Amino acid sequence: MAHYHPKRILQPGPVVFDPVGIELLAHEREMLAHPATGAVILFGHNFEEPQQLADLIRCCREARSGELLVMVDQEGGRVQRFRTGFSALPSAAVFGEAFDVDSKRAVAAAEDVAWLCGRELRVIGVDINLAPVADLQTGSKAIGDRAYHTNPGVTTQLSAAAVRGLHCSGLSATAKHFPGHGGVLEDTHVDHACDERELAEITEKDLSVFKQLIEVGVDSVMPAHVVYPAVDECPAGYSPKWIKDLLRTEMGFEGAVLSDDLSMAAAGIAGEVPERAEMALSAGCDLALVCQDPGAAESVIDRLSGDVVDETRAERVLGLMRDAEEVDERLRLDRAMLSLDWLKQPNPDL
């Protein structure tokens, strides 16, 4: 891998990868200094406790001359990468169940808990939460209780509240998995998936959630590694029809598009990981995520070494950095704690 002058101010590149452990390795510093890198994504294997994590993030940023974004999947429930020293967050389905008891209070709780989550992440240096899950709860192995509800309207209200809470905390939000992963049983981490529904049904149900989230200002969208033959024979994350034509042109989305993890089994249709990254970027993704596969991440960086910086893409990526809103933190924290308590037993009659 080529070395780069430390005083060169770099625009964010398209590659996102995760360090292998709780401290930054020498070759990872070189990867972070490379023009093709744009962000790091963190997992449980990067975490021991909050101060250690803050130190790791600081070291990552010091390794790069230019902005470096930091992201994590801190959805709640079974997908919460940081636990010790962080609030235990409920799964999305808990909010959906609470909505059926008291809709107004559940929506307020979704915003309060998202603010709390974002506040805890922002303190240690995270910029982006890869949430909310905007998929419908329809029995998918990959999604399950990560989704709020079976009803698109309920899902829209709760996920929009989560976006508002994250924005208030100073984090950007990511709606996933466009145009909707809930219509397939298969888990794309380990299997290929095909959604045979007609576009009219997908539009009426799944896409309606994403449309509303775009209107409330969600910062980024993550496409699914699912094939929707009614539109394209490629998975949505590799499809210009889905990303450029439908998401950007028809739906008017101007934010960043983040690929799902290109190391997943369903992403393998495009070949080896460097080919997958090229296909995702060509289809319209702004960032290509290569997770928990350091060799593949380095090979993608090498493959993209000669690419000219796409200024429009870099601008969209930099747009993912937000400022926190001014709030009464004590009052907001008290509200979030009360919401967490209520969510444990929203129906007192049970």
Give the ranges where the chain is alpha helix by DSSP (H).
26-33, 50-62, 92-99, 103-124, 152-169, 199-204, 206-215, 240, 273-283, 294-303, 311-318, 329-344
Active-site hit among 73, 112, 135, 260: 260
| Pair 325, 302: CB distance under 8 Å | no
How many angstroms separate the CA atoms of 331 and 63, rounded? 38
141: three-class secondary structure by DSSP: coil
| Cβ atoms within 10 Å, residue 274 | 19
Q: Which of 189, 191, 293, 302 is catalytic?
A: 189
Separation between Cα atoms, residue 81 and residue 43, nearest integer Å: 5
Is 189 an annotated catalytic residue?
Answer: yes
Identity of the amino acid at 171? L
Quick check: 83 and 334 in contact, CB under 8 A? no
Catalytic residues: 189, 260
